[in-house]
Structure 1
Amino acid sequence: MFGRGSKLPAKTPDQVRQMRRAGLVVGETLAELSTVVRAGLTTADLDGVAEKAIRGRGATPSFLGYHGFPATICVSVNDEIVHGIPGSRVLDDGDLVSIDCGAIVEGWHGDSAITVVVGGDQAARPEDLDLSAATEASMWAGIRALQPGERLYDVGAAVEDSITESAQRLQRTLSIVDGYTGHGIGTEMHQEPYVFNERVRDKGPLVGVGATVAIEPMITLGTHESHELDDEWTVVTDDGSRAAHWEHTIAVTEAGLWVLTALDGGQAQLGDRYAPLD
């Protein structure tokens, strides 16, 4: 366990570069999926595209077989928050779809998630566009809160503050899903410590150069409460409200941050905090 004075494990520069290779596979796969999603496809169709994309880039899916998970990606639709199992469900225009993807390259993991609307923005409910944008913005707020020498749980405070601001500005009910967090990542997909999506009493371990974490807020248009379906994977909102999920894997470098699963490394969002390794 991580105590008050503990520090996040550090990766060497070469190990971070290895993780970037895995992260690019994930980012490229999600970019491809975002262009493929359309009405009439099943969630299993998306899974097939993802597996071909990952293996075609010389990587291995992180999720397939993980604790028995039967697919390459998680596809969560509308009131499904996370861990949706791809199958026979047919997508319709206006569906809000969160896609979570992981890949392994030479033993190192990348993990990322996006939320898209089937049929594009023109087919979306306004509240769904607001939800997805607020969730993505809170993820970037959390990423920017990663600071060497500061505490990891500052990330959750930044996510919460961002969601609070968005809810007030948009005049929407936005809730952070209770009980689900981001995580450390490296030679395993899920490692300690937890990366909370809300303010907590503890400050958490110190962030240092070489730390790698996955930050992944999950936000709903209603309740913070959820439950797992009988498939023992799919998590849905208790009140049937829609949910969005955004995630990136990030490395802390000497000069700033490198978003390993973003195709541009996070440059567009981070500005002068963007600091990839050579």
Structure 2
Amino acid sequence: MSTAVASVAGIKYKTAEEIEIIRSNGVVLGKAHAEVAKLIQPGVRTEALDKRAEEFIRDSGATPSFKGYNGFPAALCISVNENVVHGFPGKYELKEGDIVSIDCGVFRDGFHADSAYTYPIGEVDAAIQALLRATKESLYEGIKAVARGNKVGDIGFAVQQYVEARGYTVVRELVGHGVGKQLHESPEVPNYGRKGKGPVLRDGMVLAIEPMVNLGQKNVVQEQDGWTIRTADRKPSAHFEHTVAMRNGTFDILTTFEYIEKIIRV
């Protein structure tokens, strides 16, 4: 789950043991995503996806990080087409050609893990397929910037350069964030920025890196529900997210798309 741009002080560094708790939660989270992936097809209501994810998470001895967070009503943020993030599950039935961002968090043993994946529904327009591919690739470009000697701004720079070179735009109002005992911790992790700016990346930092990339303009608006963020021009947006630790001067991805991609056969 992304966070709005805000100033939050105090980075909390994690021990090796705490990082392994988050990794374990990342496995549960990846498998919860896979349970959702099994159901995704035209005609499925988004509320059915949310129900299955919550059942799986609770059956795994964990709790959904998002449910009840600042009043959010569901286990999943489900954002379709022009909705960027923080959409509500409901009666909407997925249609052929839609794309849907599924953002989920898991809390267990005192720590959160957070990840998102954007799924195509059936046959999707080639331009939108390219958007999904570039957004996912930009996530890994950002992750590669988690390295000794770099700063948080290097992550955003890497994401921004990658997607803008391909003609897409980066959402500015919402950012990634630290993850740990709280779902949203310092530092903020924008998907844009300048090299060498922001906090120094140090071992023990755990970050949710989550590019939100638009096919059209970068501008977004908030819907009247107080949560859903959509593109101002109503063109599609994609969102991918991993929880990542810095260890021994390099990145260590704690969440996984492995279980998802066994289902959707990427």
Give the TM-score normalised by the residue count of structure 1: 0.87
How big is each residue's C-alpha offset from its partner over 1:32-64, in whole Å with a ceiling of 9 and x where there is no partner?
212320111111010011101111111100000
Aligned pairs (5 A) from 1:212-231 = 212-231=206-225
Letter of the 1:153 partner, please give it: G
Question: Which residue of 1 is the match for residue 98 of structure 2?
Answer: 95
Once the two structures are superposed, what CA deviation does each residue of 1:214-249 show, in whole Å capped at 9, x if it has no partner?
A: 000101110111111111111111111000000000
**1:43–1:89 Cα contact (<8 Å) kept:** yes
Q: Does 1:148 align with 2:148?
A: yes
RMSD of the TM alignment (CA)? 1.8
Counterpart residue identity of residue 125, structure 1: D
Aligned: 1:52 with 2:55: yes
Pick aligned residue for 1:9 from 3, 7, 12: 12
Q: What are the ranges of 5 or more consecutive residues in structure 2 without an aligned counterpart?
A: 1-6, 260-266
Selected match of 1:62 from 45, 62, 65 = 65
User: Separation in 2 of the partners of 1:156 and 1:49?
Assistant: 33
Within-5 A mapping of 1:66-81: 66-81=69-84
Measure how far apart 1:118 and its partner are: 1.2
Q: Secondary structure at the match of 1:153?
A: helix
1:240 corresponding residue in structure 2: 234
Please give the residue correspondences for 1:99-118 in structure 2 after superposition, counting only pairs within 5 Å: 99-118=102-121
- In the alignment, structure 1 residue 20 sits paired with structure 2 residue 23: yes
Indicate conservation of the 8 Å contact 1:2/1:205, yes or no: no
Which structure 1 residue ranges, 5 or more long, are not aligned?
A: 168-173, 266-278
Note the 1:150-229 alignment, pairs <5 A.
150-167=150-167, 174-200=168-194, 203-229=197-223
Give the TM-score, by structure 2 length.
0.91
| 1:139-166 deviation digits (Å, cap 9, x = unpaired) | 1000000012321110000001111233
**Any conservation in 2 of the 1:2–1:204 contact (CA below 8 Å)?**
no
Contact 2:76/2:104 (8 A) holds in 1: yes
Q: Deviation at 1:262?
A: 1.3
Match of 2:34 among 8, 31, 35: 31
Does 1:251 find its partner at 2:254? Answer: no
Match for residue 262 of structure 1? Answer: 256
Determine if contact 2:97/2:124 at 8 Å carries over to the other structure: yes
In the aligned structure 2, how far is the partner of 1:185 from the partner of 1:133?
Answer: 25
Q: Which structure 1 residue ranges, 4+ long, deviate > 4 Å from structure 2?
A: none
